[in-house]
Amino acid sequence: SAVISQKPSRDICQRGTSLTIQCQVDSQVTMMFWYRQQPGQSLTLIATANQGSEATYESGFVIDKFPISRPNLTFSTLTVSNMSPEDSSIYLCSVVVDGDTIYFGEGSWLTVV
Amino acid sequence: GIQVEQSPPDLILQEGANSTLRCNFSDSVNNLQWFHQNPWGQLINLFYIPSGTKQNGRLSATTVATERYSLLYISSSQTTDSGVYFCAVENTGRRALTFGSGTRLQVQP
């Protein structure tokens, strides 16, 4: 398994501002992903964080709104830009371990007021 | 893309009861995992089970890949089993998961 730490665990932000979420893994992992879970909903993939290159975004998500960095094999950041109340969600980082099994961080609860 | 349907959407049990949660998926999969999301939002990995049967304590899971469904069995339920159970699948080789809508389980004392 892997220990995945996310910061912040929870935050309340003003609309129009930006917040950067960090994801730190205790071992090197090749594949890292960011998901969003809106209130009462299931999880939706935002993007694949690629080490050393631009992230790969899913339909409906764009780099200007959700810029992602992946400077090495143990760390990634997701920024939620120009936030609105609709961005209030849990944001989760996930990694692939042991080739197949996918693990998640504890999530970052974001409330935009 | 692949579709994932979970049933039932909601389930209320008395402590000690057994339950079966179902996950149907629309295409063949490379990966299928069951997760439990606790009230604090943490996703706990229960099983990696693209096919076959596995057991872990009071929980077990079976995936019949040829018929495109998976079942999660919870026996002798406890209040700590409460939360949302998600089935998630992957079939593109990218290792990114597609989640079902979840089953919200409430175990009453």
Residues B3-29 pLDDT 10s? 999 999 999 999 999 999 999 999 999
Judged by CB atoms closer than 8 Å, whether chains meet at B97 and A44 is answered as no
Q: Give the gap in angstroms from C-alpha B102 to the nearest C-alpha of chain A.
A: 7
Q: What are the distances in angstroms from CA A88 to CA A83, A109, B50, B97?
A: 8, 8, 33, 22
Q: Does A111 touch chain B (CB under 8 A)?
A: no
Q: What's the number of domains chain A is made of?
A: 1
Q: What's the number of domains chain B is made of?
A: 1
| Residue B46 belongs to domain with CATH number | 2.60.40.10
Q: Find the domain containing B10 and state its range.
A: 4-108
User: Where residue A2 falls among pLDDT bands split at 50, 70, 90?
Assistant: confident
The residue-averaged pLDDT of B73-100 equals: 93
Q: Find the domain containing A41 and state its range.
A: 19-104
What is the token pair recorded at A81? 């830009």
Suggest the residue from B5, B43, B47, B84 to mutate for an interface test with chain A (most A CBs closer than 10 A): B43
CB-CB: which of A41, A43, A101 is closest to B45? Answer: A101
Q: What is the largest CA-CA distance in chain A?
A: 40
